[in-house]
Amino acid sequence: MKKILEAVQQTRRNIVYKLRGKIPCTPGAITETDLTEAIGREDPLILEIGCNDGSHSEWFLNLFPGIELHCFEPDPRAIKKFRDRIANQQAAVHCLAISDHDGEIDFHMSDGLPPGVSAEDYPEGWDCSGSIRQPKQHLESKPWCTFDRTISVATQTLDSWCEANGLADRTIDFIWADVQGAEIDLIRGAQKSLQRCRFFYTEYNNREMYEGQAQLKALLAELPDFEVIHRYADDVFLKNELLE
């Protein structure tokens, strides 16, 4: 009965979204089937931007036996955990922030602990919310999460990184992005790369959790060749219509 009620409520929400010109929201999150059926091959080229400790990287490695996986993460605490977790040579990790320019950028390190989370899992503090953009409404919605430390990290556009690493002419099967409010920076620095990208999955928020964070409507305006496959509560799964 509960599932039926949830489905009815979701249907009503979707009708409201359509009437208001918004994209219907799919319950839940992307599934293994969604991903494998969309990509349709065992040896994809996948770029994971904002890989944190490698939990999703591990998922990709298990799903695609012949994968070539490039992972990007600017937080040195998360990089350390990634390297402890992932030993597969098919996954390369790059200590780098992907943004809209090359050089260096301030990275706002998150800290604190959410209720119910053990300090043993985050001995150097909460490393899941750091961003190249300053926190804003994040401070109000998650008061336990602090941003008292800022470090300088290397940054590149995805276009220049691909050029420097021999991927400028290759089709990218899938980009997974979790960049904590810097989605527009990633997109604007990846115009050439996105033209060659078949599927793009990114977190978004329609609240300004970080200063200058673009809402979903603005992100989609920067991606005219992409069609929404699924819009979830906090993520959107897109396909490049020019490559399908």
How many Å separate Cα 220 from the centre of its chain?
15
Q: For the sheet containing 97-98, what is the strand order?
A: 97-98, 146-156, 103-111
Residues 41-49, mean pLDDT to the nearest whole number: 98
CB 102, CB 160: distance < 8 Å: yes
pLDDT digit string, tens, across residues 131-154: 999 999 999 999 999 999 999 999
Query: For 50-60, what is the mean pLDDT?
Result: 98
Where would I find the beta strands (DSSP E) of 31-180?
45-49, 68-72, 91-94, 97-98, 103-111, 146-156, 172-177
Strand order in the sheet with 45-49: 91-94, 68-72, 45-49, 172-177, 197-203, 235-240, 226-231
- pLDDT tens readout for residues 108-123: 999 999 999 999 999 9
Q: Angle at CA 238, nearest 5°, toward 217 and 47?
A: 115
Residue where the block lists tokens 């929201």:
25
Residues ≥6 apart with Cβ < 8 Å to 113: 119, 122, 125, 126, 144
Task: Residue 228: count other Cβ atoms within 10 Å of its Cβ.
Answer: 15
For residue range 171-199, list pLDDT tens digits in order.
Answer: 999 999 999 999 999 999 999 999 999 99
Domain extents in the chain: 1-28, 31-102+157-240
On average, the pLDDT of the chain sits at 93
Which CATH entry fits the domain spanning 31-102+157-240: 1.10.1270.20, 3.40.50.150, 3.30.70.2860, 3.90.550.10?
Answer: 3.40.50.150
